[in-house]
A and B are shown apart, each in its own frame.
Chain A
Amino acid sequence: MNIWFGVTMVSALFVSGMAAYMGIRALQRLKERKSQLEAGGEIINIPMAMLQKRSLWNILSITIGVLVISWLFKGHAVSEFFADDKLRISITAVIALTLMVNLFLMLPTSKKGRFSNMFDERDELVLTKASNFQIVGLLLLSVVWTIGLTEYYWEAGSIPVDIPYLMFWSNFLMLFFSRSVGIVFSYWWLDHHGN
């Protein structure tokens, strides 16, 4: 067995173990806070914040972008990416469009400027919590890429030069996707369990 395969597997097990531990701890806290709230009585629905709504739209737009990219890649080998101009331009255009939609949707992330009356300290707290999701998202994506590439190109012993380019863009998309997921989750958490 190759040493790097072993390292990859141990890393994957470590990350999975950490994710499982964090999930179990979150569920335990959820149970504790739920019983406290039930003891306290009244449950009030808190209206969605602007950032929360925009994050949901962002999750939808990135999901659509990824689906379109997958559809464009259908029937093509990854190594065709640089060889086929039409494919490369189409995919780059979809990625650029998705990122521009993200930029437009996620602009109001400051107390300054024209969104100042729709953004406050609670939203800032949510953004701080959401950054943790970005770290986990990127970590999980790197595990998926590493295991996938190791398994798929094991026999060949090397990966096509197109792959790092696609990895770069996938990191970008994951960065914004996991942030939006983090924002939606953090609002849900705050609404149900407080800060």
Chain B
Amino acid sequence: MGTDIILNNIRKRRFEKNEMTQQELADAAGCTRQTIVALEAGRYTPSLGLAFRIAMIFGMGLEEIFEYGGEA
């Protein structure tokens, strides 16, 4: 069984939300900017807690931000 690939559109959602910076999103989500950069680059799969927090910041459901991309 391979690694699950979780795709996201955080970058797009940030720009739609008044061009929110990575730092602003990180502060609101309670993580570091490095983690936001890694998430946007598809190099980190967040915990459910962080995923929900990010979705709540954008006022959306989890599935509107994250998408299952199969196994690597």
Binding site for B on A (CB under 8 A): 33, 36, 40, 42, 44, 46-50, 117-123, 190-195
Whether B12 sits at the interface, judged by CB under 8 Å, is: no
Residues of A within 8 A of B37 (CB): 44, 46-47
Q: Is the CB of B34 within 8 A of A192?
A: no
Q: Is the CB of B32 within 8 A of A46?
A: no
Q: Is the CB of B31 within 8 A of A120?
A: yes
B21 → A minimal CB distance (Å)? 13
| A/B pair count, beta carbons within 8 Å | 57
Q: Is the CB of A118 within 8 A of B44?
A: no
A36 → B minimal CB distance (Å)? 6
> From DSSP, what is the main secondary structure of chain B's interface residues?
loop
> From DSSP, what is the main secondary structure of chain A's interface residues?
helix
Binding site for A on B (CB under 8 A): 3, 27, 30-35, 37-38, 40-47, 49-50, 72
Partner of A122, one of B3, B31, B40, B42: B31
Contacts A42-B41, A46-B37 given: A194-B3 contact, CB under 8 Å? yes
Q: Is the CB of B35 within 8 A of A121?
A: yes
| Of A40, A49, A122, A193, most B-chain CB atoms within 10 Å | A122
Residues of A within 8 A of B38 (CB): 46, 122, 190-191
A191 to B33, CA, bound (A): 13
B33 → A minimal CB distance (Å)? 7
A42 to B43, CA, bound (A): 11
Contacts A33-B72, A191-B38, A194-B3 given: A46-B31 contact, CB under 8 Å? no
